[in-house]
Structure 1
Amino acid sequence: MEDALLLGVEGVKKTILHGGTSELPKFITGTKVTFHFRTQLCNDERTVLDDSKKVGIPMELVIGNMFKMEVWETLLSSMRIGEVAEFWCDIIHTGMYPIVAKSLRRIAEGKDPVDWHIHTCGIANMFAYHTLGYEDLDELQKEPQPLYFVLELLKVEQPSEYNRESWALNDEERLKAVPVLHGQGNKLYKMGRYEEATLKYKEAIICIKNVQTKEKSWEAPWLKLEKMALTLTLNYCQCLLRMEEYYEVIEHTSDIINQHPGQLSVSFCMASAPMLLRCSNSVLSYALGIL
């Protein structure tokens, strides 16, 4: 174990636990980094908050892609392949960790990393509901503190060496992908491949929501993205209707109506009225059938 090394970044200390191999990789915009991480509190017990090895899924991020934990890009960029290092990070770098950890835990649980069907930004939702859904993260959110990150660098891929999925795109690329995914979803819907169509619509919505979280709620750019998401959500719900997932349709459409007062809700209700009527009749018929 080497002594703690300063990275030249305020509020960060590094300790190499296991040396890596070869030269320091090139970390340019678009480089995909695969690594394991363990997050620990700075208490006597070194309480573990998250451990990707226990989950069995390594973490991936793309350099320069505005990942919420910006300091992780800095930490990883100081490492060699195979290196294991411990980083102490002060509060100035750890404030966003609870929100990031929530998304990572949802992925590990087989859920969507974002509540894409809820049409407010993630931070607004957090304050509206007063919880992230995990008690330890709620406590960390209320009282931010320094954290230890133990990182193991597994793989570094340059932009030309891998196929970029939607999560690895920048905002401009995400917005360009939306109409493509929309069109693919429409084509699959017309072919009767409803489940595959939902995946395309869902991916497009996630692209929009990732961009939208960086805009100020209810201002013009945010509203423009919101209307795009509403259209895709309606398409998604049409697929669910064909798949007879009536209760989920009611859940999504009710969320939209409840969270969009005024003209937007009126327009949405007019557009979705036939769908809701059909869905309500189907649910009623199903319930009467059970009775």
Structure 2
Amino acid sequence: MVEILRGDLIAQRIEGEVRDRIVQLQQQHDCHPALAVVLVGEDPASAIYVGRKKRAAARVGIRSIEHRLPADTAESDLMALIAALNADPAVHGILVQLPLPQQISSDRVLGAISPDKDVDGFHPVNVGRLSTGTGGLVPCTPLGCMILLDQVFDDLKGMKAVVIGKSNIVGKPVALLLLERECTVTVTHIHTRGLPDIARTADIIVVAAGVPGLVRGDWVKPGAVVIDVGINRVVDADGAKRVVGDACADEMDHARVITPVPGGVGPMTIACLLSNTVRAAEMALGLVDAAASD
């Protein structure tokens, strides 16, 4: 019988650890970690995500500063706001919610955030640090995936990992983190040939393709671990709406472990965002070296 690895329960533990770190920062350094969240436009999904992040920040004691800008905001105005947040010593983390309106370049905006305040881990400097194993702030979802894997394995050396999806947000960074742990990693994408056969060789499958039910039961060898990053909203034939992952969980009885959707990777992403914000505050105080790994 497959084990369901509940990320929401592990996220609660991480939140407790973050809360303890914040108390220590307040008592010993008179520092109150603060996260600035920038939302441009009225995208409903983005508003929901921002709301979840704000509530999570409040639970652990992170001060949340929200900047809501209209959809027609000029890129220059957003860049000016980011420059002001970069210069504000009371702001430790900056998060610009994606996607941005068409008139604004996401690459330019993310590149303008100070690497030491880039709690999403998307700045080219942090990407470079990740690729060379020299610390920095790590993207939240890949970091959450690795923490989940650490609940299953004591050591990842020599394991075969297949990553399905090559996005800059999940696929590429999680592959780098797996390589850092001495896994043998295959990264696959929409043009990969023979994907089911490649997946069947894996001890670990991390799927982040955004395709409901892509990974079928016969793609997974007995005893494999499946980390399902997909969050897809589907409508059943009877009109009922539900959220499903990229893996067919009901076909995975022969797997060792699978993460559920919802309740798996999603809560870990937010917990790692909180942890990154506190790490940024610790870096600002000189308590943690930006070039050091956790």
TM range (shorter): under 0.3
TM-score normalised by L of structure 2: 0.25
Higher-Rg member (1/2): 1
Structure with the larger helix share: 1
Greater RCO, CA 8 A, separation 6+: 2
TM-score normalised by L of structure 1: 0.25
